[in-house]
Amino acid sequence: MSEVLKVPTMAEFMAQGKQPEVLFWVGCAGSFDDRAKKITKAFVKLLNKANVEFAVLGTEESCTGDPAKRSGNEFLFQMQAVTNIEVLNAYEVKKIVTACPHCFNTIKNEYPGLGGNYEVMHHTQFLKSLLDDGRLTVQGGQFKGKRITFHDPCYLGRANNVYEAPRELIKKLEAELVEMKNCRRNGLCCGAGGAQMFKEPEKGDKDVNVERTEQALDIKPEIIAAGCPFCNTMMTDGVKAKEKENDVAVMDVAELIANAQDL
Amino acid sequence: MEYLSNILFALILLLGVGYFTRNVKRLIRNINLGQAVDVNDNKSERWRNMVMIALGQSKMVRRPIAGVLHVVVYIGFIIINIEVLEIILDGLFGTHRIGLKLLPLGVYGFLIGAFEVLACLVFVSVIIFWIRRNVIKLARFWKSEMTNWPKNDGNIILYFEMVLMTLFLVMNATDVHFQALNSGNIVSQNIVPLFGSASEGTLHIIERSAWWLHIVGILIFLNYLYFSKHLHILLAFPNTYYGSLKPKGAFNNLDSVTNEVKMMMDPDADPFAVPAEDAEDEVPAKFGASDVQDLNWLQLLNAYTCTECGRCTSECPANQTGKKLSPRKIMMDTRDRMEEVGKNIDANNGEFKEDGKQLLDDYITKEELWACTSCNACVETCPVSIDPLSIILEMRRYLVMEQSAAPSELNNMMTNIENNGAPWPYNQMDRLNWKNE
């Protein structure tokens, strides 16, 4: 990669006595998972391109506690939450954007009760606001006319009723947005939520991600768009299990927007 | 002797309503076995939800066939029951069709005519419901938890409705006086030929029998509710009123844990401090839930409200892929255990006597609990705002915080979060490495 990403930290902003416009909460997957790191970078490129003054916490960021909470470990969740809230409040953070619906949901809905009150946006919502404000423009580019389906992440969709922002971004690509049998509030889970990502599934006759991938493949998309690093992994694995990885790509909405502009 | 039937009627009515009242009290007592939960906020939004979801059936019609049929039966049920008012007045005062004395003939005829049309529509809808259950065998009615009583219960309700509607129409058809008025007998006049050659005396006996069986049937049905999934016709209203108003992704934060965490994080906290006088009461007996008394009363109300339609289970990703988890079974198990605890209390003079059983393991297995993806599909689809996910979470909390019984992979994940601030074994100091990769 030739071009250098500008990724300032909150500490650097603080040192200059400045406040960024928004904090980008990268999340554990976005920081460590090889596939998700690409999503993180795609999103940062878009932020750079739109000249958004953002910052990350960098090494001061820690797990929101979502998988611990959903496993039933309320102690660990609250320890994580209170620690994160202390850091966020110390930096006087007001607005947070994240590319992970689990971080999004936890910070937005579960941190306020523990003293963390922020405006929290999913990256698809944030990108849409950049487009609406004319700070970012999108042309179809390589995705013009492609059949793209969007897989609703449970923690973005049903959990928080965000269904349209990612779809509007895909439509901006002049792509053909096709819907699966189960979509929006009826969207089928990818199988990763509730800490399932970190364990083997219980005995059954199929894996959830395969079931969901079959639903996607039924409508013959060229791209399955996701808005969650965990869904992305599950759907990618599902496509591989169906031996369709040469025909169908699984991509985050941010990657679609960034690639359309050859960023 | 002439008052014999009035007295008999009053006795039957008293018995029917009395036994029902007794069971309603028991129901409320059982629901109150649950922990307190504050749901007194946003009253206007709650009323709106109740009107939309329970009265307006807004979530029922998301599945159009079952939804529309259900609306027909529901409207029919409510409106036809206005007729019961007349039956009760007639029964108590020994009158016959007192409505004719109180209302102009045109109005009375219109009402009865409407009841007859609805009775007919209800009858047809109920037949279709029966066919869906027993002939088409829709998958959600044939899951493993739908055997024995739950299966029979579903059919008994349908038979009840068929019989009651038939009795109502037969009662009208054999009422010579009513037929002579020729007002409001829109459906029943077509049944009259069936009794073609019967004498007026025979018709009167059939009419009286149908009348008595109808009201006795209604009272039996009323008392059947407590033992049946059919309780939803009453409890759907409070249940949708008290249903969660928060985004579905928001899981509650345990206050008891917050207190402990604050103590741990507070450098000035004195771990050896003598607790305040009333502090003892605030410490919960345990974290999470292993039995029904650990759940909150709203979750117990949820369990009584469940009508076992199985929409939750049919939407559940775990169940769809052959896992044991069925959100409907979570609700049915909760209710069954609550009933068991209630009977135990009744048998032991109001005190629960330890019976060596609990909701966890004896009813709901760990395998079911750990199969949940917390995707909220069950919560989203429930037509009466039941939240099976909250019970699953509460029981996971017990497993993890009281028993340290999480699957080992999850324990690894949690250890990683504790040590490195990430669910995987990566160093927190490497969090920004992606920038330069």
| Residue B371 to residue A198, Cβ atoms within 8 A | no
Q: Rounded to 10 degrees, what is the CA torsion of A235, A239, A242, A244? A: 160
B198, B206 Cβ separation under 8 angstroms: yes
Residues above pLDDT 90, as percent of chain B: 88
pLDDT digits (tens, 9 = 90+) for B297-346: 999 999 999 999 999 999 999 999 999 999 999 999 999 999 999 999 99
pLDDT of amino acid A245: 96
- Looking at CA atoms only, how far is residue B370 from chain A in angstroms? 7
Q: Of A184, A178, A176, A168, nearest to A145 (Cα)?
A: A176
**Within a domain: residue B353?**
yes
Is the domain of B374 the same as that of B286? yes
Task: Among A189, A206, A210, A212, pick the best mutation site for testing chain B contact (most B Cβ within 10 A).
Answer: A189
Structure tokens at B116: 């007859």
Sheet architecture: strand order including A223-226: A176-178, A147-150, A223-226, A249-252
Residues 114-173 of A with CB under 8 A from B: 114, 154-155, 158-161
Looking at beta carbons, which residues of chain A come within 8 Å of B403?
none
What is the domain partition of chain A in residue ranges?
10-130, 137-260
Task: Give whichever of A239-248, B184-193, B273-282 has the largest mean pLDDT.
Answer: A239-248
Establish whether domains A10-130 and A137-260 are of one fold. yes
CA pair distance A46, A7, nearest whole angstrom: 12
Residue of B nearest to A56 (CA): B432
**Within a domain: residue B131?**
yes
Nearest to A198 among B317, B323, B409 (CB): B409
**Within a domain: residue B419?**
no
Integer-rounded Cα Rg, in Å, for chain B is 28
pLDDT digits (tens, 9 = 90+) for B224-246: 999 999 999 999 999 999 999 99
CB-based contact (8 Å) between A222 and chain B? no
Looking at beta carbons, which residues of chain B come within 8 Å of A122?
none
Is the domain of B110 the same as that of B204? yes
**Within a domain: residue B37?**
no
| Residue B396 to residue A160, Cβ atoms within 8 A | no
B30, B352 Cβ separation under 8 angstroms: no
pLDDT of amino acid B3: 84
CB-based contact (8 Å) between A73 and chain B? yes
Q: Name every residue whose Cβ is closer than 8 Å to that of residue A251 and which is 6 or more positions away in sequence.
A: A223, A224, A225, A226, A232, A259
CA pair distance B374, B393, nearest whole angstrom: 8
Question: Helix count (H) and strand count (E) of chain B?
Answer: 20, 0
CA pair distance B434, B437, nearest whole angstrom: 5
Task: Among A1, A32, A86, pick the best mutation site for testing chain B contact (most B Cβ within 10 A).
Answer: A32
Length of chain A: 263
Is the domain of B295 the same as that of B211? no
| Residue A75 to residue B401, Cβ atoms within 8 A | yes
Q: Which CATH number fits domain A137-260: 3.20.20, 3.40.50, 3.30.450, 2.60.40?
A: 3.40.50
Task: Among B59, B266, B434, B437, pick the best mutation site for testing chain A contact (most A Cβ within 10 A).
Answer: B434
Question: Helix count (H) and strand count (E) of chain A?
Answer: 11, 8
Looking at beta carbons, which residues of chain A come within 8 Å of B422?
28, 31-32, 62-63
Residues above pLDDT 90, as percent of chain A: 96
B190: pLDDT strictly greater than 60: yes
Q: How many CB atoms lie within 10 A of CB B103?
A: 14
CB-based contact (8 Å) between A3 and chain B? no
Task: Among A28, A57, A155, A200, pick the best mutation site for testing chain B contact (most B Cβ within 10 A).
Answer: A28
| Dihedral sign, Cα of residue A239, residue A244, residue A248, residue A251 | positive
Is the domain of B223 the same as that of B92? yes
Q: Which of B209, B242, B275 is where one domain is finished? A: B242
B283: pLDDT strictly greater than 70: no
Q: Are strands A95-98 and A54-55 parallel, antiparallel or unpaired?
A: unpaired
Q: How confident is the model at residue B98 (pLDDT cuts 50, 70, 90)?
A: very high
**First-to-final CA distance of chain A:** 11
pLDDT of amino acid A4: 83
pLDDT of amino acid B274: 64
**Residue ranges of chain A with pLDDT lower than 50?**
1-2
**In Å, how far are A67, A69, B165, B223, B337 from A161, measured between CA atoms?**
21, 21, 43, 41, 34
Is the domain of B234 the same as that of B102? yes
Q: How many CB atoms lie within 10 A of CB A141?
A: 14
Q: Are strands A22-25 and A54-55 parallel, antiparallel or unpaired?
A: parallel
Nearest to A188 among B317, B399, B407 (CB): B317
Q: How many domains does chain B have?
A: 2
What is the domain extent for residue B191? 4-31+63-242
**Within a domain: residue B418?**
no
CA pair distance B424, A32, nearest whole angstrom: 8
pLDDT of amino acid B277: 58
pLDDT of amino acid A2: 46
Placement of tokens 């059982």 in the chain = B30
**Within a domain: residue B301?**
yes
Structure tokens at A8: 């300032």
Nearest to A69 among B251, B376, B432 (CB): B251
Looking at beta carbons, which residues of chain B come within 8 Å of A159?
247-250, 376
Q: Of B195, B5, B359, B320, nearest to A208 (Cα)?
A: B320
Q: How many CB atoms lie within 10 A of CB B398?
A: 22
Burial B346-375 (b: 16+ CB within 10 A, else e): eeeeeeeeeeeebbbeebbebebbbbbbbb
Q: How confident is the model at residue B157 (pLDDT cuts 50, 70, 90)?
A: very high
pLDDT of amino acid B271: 65
CA pair distance B316, B328, nearest whole angstrom: 10
Q: Name every residue whose Cβ is closer than 8 Å to that of residue B41 and which is 6 or more positions away in sequence.
A: B245
- Looking at CA atoms only, how far is residue B280 from chain A in angstroms? 20
Q: Of B306, B358, B313, nearest to B335 (Cα)?
A: B306
Residue of A nearest to B252 (CA): A110
Is the domain of B205 the same as that of B287? no
Beta bridge partners of A223: A148, A249
B32, B117 Cβ separation under 8 angstroms: no
Q: What class, spelled out in words, does domain A10-130 have in CATH?
A: alpha beta
**Residue type, position B336, single letter:** D
**In Å, how far are B76, B100, B193, B206, B210 from B188, measured between CA atoms?**
16, 17, 10, 14, 13
B437: pLDDT strictly greater than 90: no
pLDDT digits (tens, 9 = 90+) for B334-365: 999 999 999 999 999 999 999 999 999 999 99
Looking at beta carbons, which residues of chain A come within 8 Å of B410?
71, 195, 198-199
Q: What is the mean pLDDT of chain B?
A: 94
| Residue B422 to residue A62, Cβ atoms within 8 A | yes
In this structure, what are the phi and psi dihedrals at residue A247, rounded to the nearest 5 degrees? -105, -30
Structure tokens at B415: 């250890």
CA pair distance B366, B327, nearest whole angstrom: 14
B14: pLDDT strictly greater than 60: yes
Burial A19-36 (b: 16+ CB within 10 A, else e): bbebbbbbbbbbbbbeeb
Longest dimension (CA), chain B: 101
A227, A221 Cβ separation under 8 angstroms: no
**In Å, how far are A1, A97, B346, B432 from A62, measured between CA atoms?**
27, 15, 51, 12
Q: How confident is the model at residue B1 (pLDDT cuts 50, 70, 90)?
A: low
How would you class A127 by CB atoms within 10 Å of its CB: exposed for 0-12, middle for 13-18, buried for 19 or more? buried
Q: Of B367, B327, B425, nearest to A189 (Cα)?
A: B327
CA pair distance A84, A224, nearest whole angstrom: 33
User: Complex ipTM, two decimals?
Assistant: 0.96
Q: How many Cβ pairs closer than 8 A exist between chain A and B?
A: 218
pLDDT of amino acid B126: 97
CA angle A208, B250, B34 (to 5 degrees): 100
Residue of A nearest to B264 (CA): A79
| Residue B422 to residue A32, Cβ atoms within 8 A | yes
Looking at beta carbons, which residues of chain A come within 8 Å of B406?
71-73
Q: What is the pTM of this model?
A: 0.95
pLDDT of amino acid A1: 45
CA pair distance A87, B421, nearest whole angstrom: 14
How would you class B148 by CB atoms within 10 Å of its CB: exposed for 0-12, middle for 13-18, buried for 19 or more? exposed
CB-based contact (8 Å) between A56 and chain B? yes
| Residue A70 to residue B257, Cβ atoms within 8 A | no
Beta bridge partners of A95: A119
| Residue B370 to residue A202, Cβ atoms within 8 A | yes
